[in-house]
Amino acid sequence: MSELITFEQPLNEKSRTLLRLSHLFEQLDFFTSKSGEWNVRGSLQALLDITAVLTRGDLKTEIVKELDRFRVFFERLKSSSDVDMNRLQHVLQNIDYARKSLKNISGALGQNLRQDEFLSAVLQRSSIPGGTFDFDIPQLHYWLNQSHSDQLLQMDDWRNEIGPVQDAVELLLGMIRESTVSKHCVAERGFYNQTLSSDSASQLVQIKVAKDENVFCEISGGKQRFTLRFIEVSELGHGKPTERDIPFELKVCQL
């Protein structure tokens, strides 16, 4: 069986923010686990990008509300005889833990990181091409030459404030992605569209297509419908809509 490529498209702003944060936390985890100047620079940039996303003052409230909404949904499942009660209780405990951890953060998310003088200096220069070179920020150059263990201690201190955010984001995305099962579809001549049900909130669309189809998927959508267009990549790197029928796996995550 050919390897599958996954494409995801958020259908609302909340899911868009969750996906962006998850992407940045993955970068942070990847670079932090490795030593060397460029890996440390990568982890620092990911941390700054996360801090920038967290500048929205209402983000903590939105995430807590979303956790509350999910909790209400899963509480209703207790009356169903088809539900694995042990797994359900585990999900509810995770929601409660994530909610409590976020509520325990005083002030806005990432507030202490934005007030950190060192991080602020790096952030101000990072928008300039090559702006974080040695002569621009000598303190950064000094820090990059410390031992990896010392750098990890500092990174752990910075991450301590946003750790609950990562836990909540991954929990929410996990529940959204697992809220439905994949179905096999075919995009006739590379095109597919679908009207969405108004009975439940659609969070995101997930597409999986075989790598050997040599196409990527452009997804557009909103609350009422979504559209897929599969694009072939030529040798010159230019894409054009395929005329072939493309089989794919589809998830419309509604929770």
- Residue 13: count other Cβ atoms within 10 Å of its Cβ: 9
| Domains of the chain in sequence order | 13-177 (1.10.3900.10), 183-254 (2.60.440.10)
Per residue of the chain (255 residues), give pLDDT as tens. 579 999 999 999 999 999 999 999 999 999 998 989 999 999 999 999 999 999 877 899 999 999 999 999 888 888 887 888 888 899 999 999 999 999 998 888 988 999 999 999 898 888 888 888 888 889 999 999 999 999 999 999 999 989 999 999 999 999 999 989 999 999 999 999 999 877 777 899 999 999 999 999 999 988 889 999 999 987 666 788 999 999 999 999 987
Residue type, 2: S
Whether 238 and 165 have beta carbons less than 8 Å apart is answered as: no
DSSP string, 107-154: SSTTHHHHH-HHHHHHHHHHTSTTTTSTTT-HHHHHHHTS-HHHHHHH
Give the pLDDT confidence score for residue 237 in this predicted structure: 64
The pTM is what?
Answer: 0.89
